[in-house]
Amino acid sequence: MAARQSAILLIGCPDAKGLVASVSGFLYEHGANILSADEHRDDASERFFMRIEWDLADFELDDAAFRSAFRNRVAERFHMDWRVEYSHKPLRVAVFVSRYLHCLADLLHRHKTGELAADIRLIVSNHEDAQRHAGFYGIPFEYIPLQPDRKAEAESRQLALLAEHGIDLVVLARYMQVLSPEFVARHAGRIINVHHSFLPAFSGAKPYHAAFERGVKLIGATAHYVTEILDDGPIIDQEVIRVSHRDQLEELIEKGRDAERMVLSRAVRWHLQHRVLLCGKKTVIFD
């Protein structure tokens, strides 16, 4: 079953008649057997979103031929934003982490069990704590310390590494540093962060402390794409866990880790499976 190779086409465009017919007609003509398809019309923006996955077994077009033919015959006509991905070409991923290692350990374990179909190329950290985990799972580790007055230098080093490895996705697994606007711009829509609160509540620093002060009865975590504005990017997934008056700050942090792990791993999995589309400041999740 794992041997089946499939292509995934992701489309966003102004709504118009004939979209589904044109796309599915084009695929049919070239021998595609559709495995699944999802469509969504966003009423507010009047845009149409589509994710179609087909078996490559009898498909007649290779990647280059598909891109050329699809662009000319379908995509331009409907003014589509589109991309095609392949199940046998897993994304190349870099995980950034600081000193809290629970999300990293969780991602690496899921990767090992086969839950996360990714090519994790490197782990980057401003601390050395994660090195043993990296070694245990056989992933290259890059220690890039962040001295306050030399952040630009460190970021250059990070960007060089991402370029060198052809990284498709950066996962901030409790990476406690703010990325520069330049960094974000160069990897727009390809950086996923986990914030340890139910956004937009408790954005910024020390959300568990703030939640504890406020006396909330549920604590949360949010996985989102990183944009220039802190904790403001499109939300991919959120999770909450019940707490009570018996839970002190320490227990909030402990319980919160479970929400963080769940939400980040789900968001990363959806991204790796090409199930997430951007719709303005929101996400469409074709799960």
Provide the annotated active-site residues. Answer: 231
Answer for which of 13, 15, 69, 84 binds a second copy (CB under 8 A) is 15
DSSP reduced 3-state for 98: coil
* Interface with a second copy, residue 66, by CB under 8 A: no
Tokens (6 digits) for 2: 């794992």
Answer for which of 5, 14, 18, 181 binds a second copy (CB under 8 A) is 18
* Interface with a second copy, residue 28, by CB under 8 A: yes
* Interface with a second copy, residue 285, by CB under 8 A: yes
Answer for which of 126, 238, 252, 272 binds a second copy (CB under 8 A) is 238
As a whole number of angstroms, the distance between CA 90 and CA 176 comes to: 27
The CB-of-188 to a second copy minimum distance in angstroms stands at: 17
* Interface with a second copy, residue 13, by CB under 8 A: no
Cβ neighbours for 87, distance < 8 A, ≥ 6 positions apart? 4, 5, 6, 7, 8, 117
Answer for which of 91, 139, 167, 262 binds a second copy (CB under 8 A) is 262
Q: Find the helix packing angle between 207-214 and 249-272, rounded to 10°.
A: 130
As a whole number of angstroms, the distance between CA 139 and CA 47 comes to: 40
Could you list the beta-strand ranges (E) of 149-280.
169-172, 191-195, 218-225, 235-242, 276-279
Question: What are the b/e assignments for 259-282, b being 16+ CB within 10 Å?
Answer: bbbbbbbbbbbbbbbbbbbbeeee
Positions 167 through 186 that interact with a second copy (CB under 8 A): none
Which residues lie across from 224 on neighbouring strands? 193, 235
Each residue 120-149 as x (binds a second copy by CB under 8 A) or -, in order, gives ------------x---x-------------
DSSP reduced 3-state for 11: strand
Answer for which of 66, 70, 96, 202 binds a second copy (CB under 8 A) is 202
Answer for which of 3, 21, 64, 205 binds a second copy (CB under 8 A) is 21
Closest CA to 194 of 82, 130, 103: 103
Answer for which of 5, 14, 33, 228 binds a second copy (CB under 8 A) is 33
Cα separation values, 249 from 104, 219, 257, Å:
22, 11, 13
* Interface with a second copy, residue 205, by CB under 8 A: no
Contact (CB, 8 A) for 12 and 48: yes
* Interface with a second copy, residue 198, by CB under 8 A: yes
Each residue 71-110 as x (binds a second copy by CB under 8 A) or -, in order, gives -------------------------------x--xx--x-
As a whole number of angstroms, the distance between CA 275 and CA 271 comes to: 6
* Interface with a second copy, residue 189, by CB under 8 A: no
Residues forming contacts to a second copy in the complex (CB under 8 A) are 1, 15, 17-22, 24-25, 27-28, 31-43, 58, 102, 105-106, 109, 113, 115, 132, 136, 198-202, 213-218, 220, 234-240, 244-246, 248, 250, 254, 257-258, 262, 279, 281-285, 287
